[in-house]
């Protein structure tokens, strides 16, 4: 069953720097943008650079290797060159903790 689990604290997230979080065998990059928090797969879909080492451009991360830009809300490639799509993950603040919905892609389906 999916549940919210703590993966980082506010103090660990600096504005403009991503934090690598490993959950099970999945590696994510967690970013704080203003008061919001986002999580995206850490491996760039182009050639697997670490997106956590990228830079922020608004609500997007710019890959450190070939400057592919990915929306942190949708994972979509932004710009003239399409570098594929990155998976994004559901995260939220709870006080000073970042919680991750895990495992991803599961929702509680109510059948009546
Ligand atoms: S490895 Fe990220 S854009 Fe090429």
Q: How far is the CA of 29 from the centre of ligand 1 (A)?
A: 15
Q: Which atom of ligand 1 is nearest to the CA of 48?
A: 1
CA distance 91 to 37: 7
Q: What is the pLDDT of residue 110?
A: 52
* Full-model pTM: 0.92
d(CA 16, CA 40) in angstroms, rounded, equals: 14
The residue extents of the domains of the chain are 3-102
Query: What is residue 72's three-state secondary structure?
Result: coil
Q: Whose CA is nearest to atom 1 of ligand 1?
A: 47
Atom of ligand 1 nearest to the CA of 64: 2
Residue 111 has what pLDDT? 56
Tell me, in angstroms, the distance from the centre of ligand 1 to residue 68's CA: 6
pLDDT reported for residue 105: 78
- In order along the chain (112 residues), what is the average pLDDT of each group of 10 residues? 95 89 96 96 98 97 97 96 96 97 72 52
What order of strands is seen across the sheet that includes strand 77-78?
Answer: 55-56, 60-62, 69-71, 77-78
Structure tokens belonging to residue 96? 């000073």
Ligand 1, CB within 6 Å, residue ranges = 44, 46-47, 49, 63, 65-66, 68, 83
Let me know: does 87 contact 74? Beta carbons within 8 Å: no
Region of residue 52 (phi > 0: left; psi between -120 and 50: alpha; otherwise: beta): alpha
Superfamily holding 3-102 = Rieske [2Fe-2S] iron-sulphur domain (2.102.10.10)
- Within 10 A of 48 (CB to CB), how many other CB atoms are there? 12
């Amino acid at each position: 069953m999916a549940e919210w689990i703590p993966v980082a604290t506010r103090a660990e997230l600096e504005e403009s720097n991503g934090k690598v979080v490993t959950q099970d065998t999945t590696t994510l990059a967690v970013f704080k943008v203003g008061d919001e928090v986002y999580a995206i797969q850490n491996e760039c879909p182009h050639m697997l650079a670490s997106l956590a080492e990228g830079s922020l451009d608004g609500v997007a991360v710019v890959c450190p290797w070939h400057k592919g830009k990915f929306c942190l809300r949708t994972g979509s490639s932004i710009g003239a060159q399409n570098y594929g799509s990155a998976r994004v993950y559901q995260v939220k603040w709870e006080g000073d903790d970042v919680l991750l919905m895990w495992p991803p892609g599961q929702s509680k389906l109510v059948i009546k």
